[in-house]
């Protein structure tokens, strides 16, 4: 069994008593060694030479000095003990509160209040540093939980597509042709790339994500229709409709097919997550000046104005107005990666919304390729 160590309060009191004892011993040594010879020399200089008189005076001096020293030492011990006790009662309780707060934080309670100690700049600085540590640990814990939700969401999307196509093959609804096999291969390839993205997501900044692109001229009309077709089984399962409109688009883009499909899938998945049953999602692609513009509009929960940019931040925890009870909160890694992919294509992605409960739109602009 580990022996319990002496508390800080006891140690401080003992230290103070040791200091007092050392002071008393010092005074005693001074009285015995230094004071009598000095007193005798003073008598002799004053003209007192009678040995009896000198001896009597020395005895009186030693007696008075000893009594005075004893009284002074006792008074000093009492006064020092009181002051030490007051000092201990001011220092120890704040440290005990910090110790209890440390145990609470270790147990996952990051919101425990820690008042200012009000006893010296050092303790106040320690309290402030502890608050910052607790806040950072809370942020890390929330980010970890959000990351797990986002990763499950990211991995679940291609898995759901694979499951839907396999079920379709078993039921005879989907034909086992080259196009179907290509879709399955694309989803498996996407899972491989997601595992790489997950490793890259451990970096501190979004700009550190290593998104290698395999650029080629792409028919965006086909990509938009394919994204809608792949997502449709999940939308139908929830009771949400998804439609695409690409008739007015006449331009292509230079891009990475898998990565752009990942962008469309991530935005569609986000729309599905925040659109209740009976709602709808619409994809529209059209020419827009020197760019190709893809707009994904939903009739879901909408986004507050202050969150329109923040939803693209890594592991962002969305405002409660953007949360539904049966799904994870936030957009996190999905929209973060989507934005990074679009930026790597020299494009942009933005979100707009009239407000909570009024739906939202995500606009993707990519340079047109003639």
Q: Answer with the one of 109, 133, 149 that is the final residue of a domain.
A: 109
Q: Is residue 268 part of a domain?
A: yes
φ and ψ at residue 291, rounded to 5 degrees: -125, 165
Question: In angstroms, rounded to a whole number, what is the distance separating the alpha carbons of residues 249 and 244?
Answer: 12
Q: Is residue 150 part of a domain?
A: no
223, 361: one domain: yes
Q: Is residue 198 part of a domain?
A: no
Please write the tens of the pLDDT for every residue from 202-227: 554 555 555 678 899 999 999 999 99
pLDDT value at residue 327: 39
Question: In angstroms, rounded to a whole number, what is the distance separating the alpha carbons of residues 183 and 63?
Answer: 108
Please write the tens of the pLDDT for every residue from 230-243: 889 889 989 999 99
Q: Is residue 185 part of a domain?
A: no
The DSSP-derived string for 41-88 is HHHHHTT---HHHHHHHHHHHHHHHHHHHHHHHHHHHHHHHHHHHHHH
Question: In angstroms, rounded to a whole number, what is the distance separating the alpha carbons of residues 195 and 176?
Answer: 28
Average pLDDT, the chain: 79
Distances (CA, A) of 290 to 21, 54, 107, 256: 89, 117, 56, 19
Q: Is residue 142 part of a domain?
A: no
SS (H, E, C) 168-231: HHHHCCCCCCHHHHHHHHHHHHHHHHHHHHHHHCCCCCHHHCCCCCCCEEECHHHHHHHHHHHH
φ and ψ at residue 212, rounded to 5 degrees: -75, 130
Q: Average pLDDT of 286-301?
A: 94
235, 360: one domain: yes
pLDDT for 139 beyond 50 = yes
Q: Average pLDDT of 41-52?
A: 70
pLDDT value at residue 324: 31
Q: Is residue 91 part of a domain?
A: yes
CATH of the domain at 326: 3.30.565.10
| CA-based nearest residue to 79, from 141, 131, 20 | 20
Q: Is residue 103 part of a domain?
A: yes
pLDDT value at residue 323: 35
132: tokens are 């910052």
pLDDT for 61 beyond 80 = no
For 361, the enclosing helix (H) or strand (E) is strand 360-369
215, 86: one domain: no
Give the domain extent around 311: 211-369
Q: Count how many domains the chain has.
A: 2
Please state which of the ranges 16-25, 53-62, 170-179, 320-329 shows the lowest mean pLDDT. Answer: 320-329
Question: In angstroms, rounded to a whole number, what is the distance separating the alpha carbons of residues 93 and 191?
Answer: 55
Distances (CA, A) of 297 to 247, 275, 363: 17, 10, 9
pLDDT for 319 beyond 90 = no
Burial of residue 47 (CB within 10 Å: 0-12, 13-18, 19+) is exposed
Q: Is residue 130 part of a domain?
A: no
Q: Average pLDDT of 267-292?
A: 92
Q: Average pLDDT of 337-356?
A: 92
């Amino acid at each position: 069994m580990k022996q319990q160590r002496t508390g800080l309060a006891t140690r401080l009191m003992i230290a103070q008593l040791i200091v007092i004892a050392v002071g008393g011993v010092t005074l005693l040594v001074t009285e015995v060694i230094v004071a009598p010879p000095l007193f005798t020399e003073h008598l002799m200089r004053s003209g007192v030479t009678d040995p009896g008189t000198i001896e009597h005076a020395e005895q009186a001096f030693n007696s008075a000095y000893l009594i005075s020293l004893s009284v002074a030492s006792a008074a000093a011990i009492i006064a020092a003990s009181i002051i030490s006790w007051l000092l201990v009662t001011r220092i120890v309780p704040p440290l005990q509160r910090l110790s209890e707060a440390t145990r609470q934080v270790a147990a996952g309670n990051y919101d425990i209040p820690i008042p200012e100690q009000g006893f010296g700049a050092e303790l106040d600085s320690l309290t402030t540093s502890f608050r910052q540590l607790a806040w950072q640990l809370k942020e890390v814990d929330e980010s970890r939980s959000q990351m797990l939700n986002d990763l499950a969401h990211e991995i679940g999307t291609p898995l759901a597509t694979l499951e839907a196509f396999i079920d379709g093959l078993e039921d005879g609804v989907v034909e086992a042709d080259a196009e179907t096999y290509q879709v399955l291969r694309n989803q498996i390839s996407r899972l491989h790339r997601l595992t790489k993205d997950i490793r890259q997501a451990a970096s501190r900044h979004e700009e550190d994500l290593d998104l290698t692109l395999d650029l080629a001229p792409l028919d965006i009309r086909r990509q938009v229709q394919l994204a809608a077709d792949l997502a449709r089984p999940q939308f139908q399962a929830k009771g949400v409709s998804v439609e695409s409109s690409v008739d007015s688009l006449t331009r292509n883009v230079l891009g990475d097919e898998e990565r752009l499909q990942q962008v469309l899938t991530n935005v569609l998945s986000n729309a599905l997550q925040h659109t209740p049953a009976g709602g709808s999602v619409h994809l529209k692609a059209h020419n827009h000046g020197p760019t190709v513009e893809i707009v994904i509009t939903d009739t879901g929960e909408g986004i507050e104005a202050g969150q329109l940019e923040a939803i693209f931040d890594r592991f962002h925890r969305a405002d409660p107005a953007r949360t539904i009870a049966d799904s994870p909160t936030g957009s996190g890694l999905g929209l973060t990666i989507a934005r990074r992919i679009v930026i790597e294509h020299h494009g942009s992605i933005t979100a707009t919304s009239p407000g909570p409960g009024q739906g939202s739109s995500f606009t993707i602009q990519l340079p047109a390729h003639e």
